[in-house]
Amino acid sequence: MYNGSSLMNQNTDGSSGHISKEHREFLEQVRRNRIYVRVTQIALLILFFVVWEAAARSGIIDPFITSQPSRMFKTFIGLHNNGSLYMHIGYTLAETIGGFVSGTILGIVIAIVLWWSEFIAQVLDPYLVVLNSLPKIALGPIILVWIGAGAPAIITMALIISLIVTIIGVYNGFKQVDEDKIKLLKTFGATKFQVMQKVMLPASISTIVSAMKINVGLAWVGVIVGEFLVSKAGLGYLIVYGGQVFKLDLVMTSVIILAVLAALMYQFVSWVEGKLVKWQ
């Protein structure tokens, strides 16, 4: 006899709506562990700054050389009050996002081209190896001559640093996709574009996200190096200027701001990863 009430007790995915006591306890333990980890991370960060401040006040370290949290906070407030803080953050953040997005998208596109044509992949393989081993920072002066000083040169620097890593990582991810799945689709007459759309990209989500996470750091490196060379604004400019005039408070404040922005950008990529995993 049909029992409609049994369907009411099931989730939309077909599993039972009832959660056992053991499973509930497991979920609660996972939640508590996550809270403990977060609290410990925050406590360690606070302890680091407290010890730093105490060492500077007691004379164990020279605050002129190492700065100290209280002086950095005053510098931060000063930058906030004169309005230059957000201008410098805006310059650096816009350049980093530009280099990150362009490097990631272009790297994925080139990796797709390499997968699409085995001939092109074989031709470009030694060049990719050489470019990957080449210190990209050495190209900075050349980029300045070709493009000129300014934001385009800085974005290009960030793009170059992250591009080759993205190409190699994503392309290797494509090559590791299960060949049986590809053969199955081809058996049913799927085109190469359909294979890419239905198998290659979904199966390589984790590889693409890993490349994005790596690019977060590489994009920041490229932008800061570019700002060291040519910029008249941005956090990299503040670091260079602070070092030249021996304002170490300004240098350390800029470094801390960079660390916070990089962490936030990494968290955003992790959020994107969660969305892509659900889509996958």
pLDDT of residue 8: 40
Domain ranges of the chain: 4-61, 67-279
Q: What is the mean pLDDT of the chain?
A: 81
- Domain 67-279 CATH superfamily: MetI-like (1.10.3720.10)
Say which residue, 203 or 262, is predicted with more confidence: 262
pLDDT of residue 18: 67
Provide, rounded to the nearest whole percent, the portion of the chain with pLDDT above 70.
Answer: 92
Among 212, 239, 235, residue whose Cα is nearest residue 223: 235
CA distances, 151 to each of 97, 189, 226, 233, 271 (Å): 12, 48, 9, 10, 28
pLDDT of residue 47: 93
Provide φ and ψ at 274, rounded to 5°.
-60, -40
Cβ within 8 Å of residue 124, ≥6 positions away? 114
In DSSP terms, 183 is beta-bridged to none
Single-letter amino acid code for the residue at 209: V
Tokens of 5: 């009430």
Q: Kindly report which listed range (13-22, 28-37, 199-208, 216-225) carries the lowest average pLDDT score.
A: 13-22
Write out pLDDT tens, residues 223-245.
Answer: 888 888 777 788 888 888 888 88
Write out pLDDT tens, residues 96-123.
Answer: 888 888 888 998 899 888 888 888 888 8
pLDDT of residue 5: 42
Give this prediction's pTM. 0.74
